[in-house]
Chain A
Amino acid sequence: DAGITQSPRHKVTETGTPVTLRCHQTENHRYMYWYRQDPGHGLRLIHYSYGVKDTDKGEVSDGYSVSRSKTEDFLLTLESATSSQTSVYFCAISEVYEQYFGPGTRLTVT
């Protein structure tokens, strides 16, 4: 998985609670991304980062925030989780063209 780890790998949480997912890379790549994967939708971009403290919204950013305080770490926060945010979340990294994905976090919001 190209030096990308995600934590936790599985999480079950209740509606209305805050949740933070972590992505850590050892490749020193400039760009980092968060996607969600849902049946019938492929993967959809939530937020991305183009450097430390530089982030921008993707296609499905509502209800999510991100932070990047170090090159190697990119955090995704659900401020108040909803059942519609039950999904598998993937972090990805890139430097030029090729984008590499982490192993994913399966999040269930009950």
Chain B
Amino acid sequence: QQQVKQSPQSLIVQKGGIPIINCAYENTAFDYFPWYQQFPGKGPALLIAIRPDVSEKKEGRFTISFNKSAKQFSLHIMDSQPGDSATYFCAASGIQGAQKLVFGQGTRLTINP
């Protein structure tokens, strides 16, 4: 029940395309859902996050869509660029006290020029 399942494991998209990464969770106590971007040799960097009181959140070219009834959320990257090539992780936690994040397995995204 603590798992967050992420798909696909890897994704290749042409420049300008819209990669979509999906995550599903079981624990209904989760109410904070961040996405992290990680480049090789670096720590994960917080990209965007959503709470379940909204169905969509946009920050620049990055959009989270959230479906509370299906317990699913996804990341869309608009007008993707080669510099977006990285590994992306979804995560989930409660909001009371420490943020004990449960991570998905990661998606390695490649944007071809």
Residues in chain A within 8 A of chain B (CB atoms): 1, 4, 31, 33, 35, 40-45, 48, 50, 56, 58-59, 90, 94, 97-104
Contact = CB atoms under 8 A, between A and B. Distances in A.
21 contacts: A31-B98, A31-B99, A33-B98, A33-B101, A41-B105, A42-B89, A42-B103, A42-B104, A42-B105, A42-B106, A43-B91, A43-B101, A45-B101, A45-B102, A50-B97, A94-B98, A97-B99, A100-B46, A101-B43, A101-B44, A102-B43
Majority-rule SS of A interface residues: strand
Nearest to B43: A101
Nearest to A95: B99
A43 B65 CA distance: 22
B32 to A, nearest CB: 6
Contacts, number: 61
A2 B20 CA distance: 28
Contacts of A1: 43
Contact of B103 (A43, A100, A102, A103): A43
Contacts of B61: none
A4 B101 CA distance: 18
Closest 7 CB pairs of A and B: A42-B103, A101-B43, A43-B103, A101-B44, A42-B105, A31-B98, A94-B99
Interface in B31-63: 32, 34, 36, 42-46, 49
Interface size class of chain B, counting residues whose CB lies under 8 Å from the partner chain: 20 to 34
Contacts of A35: 101
Interface string B1-27: 010101000000000000000000000
Contacts of B46: 98-100
B100 interface: yes
A36 to B, nearest CB: 11
Contact of B95 (A31, A97, A103): A97
Nearest to A45: B100
A58 B101 CA distance: 10
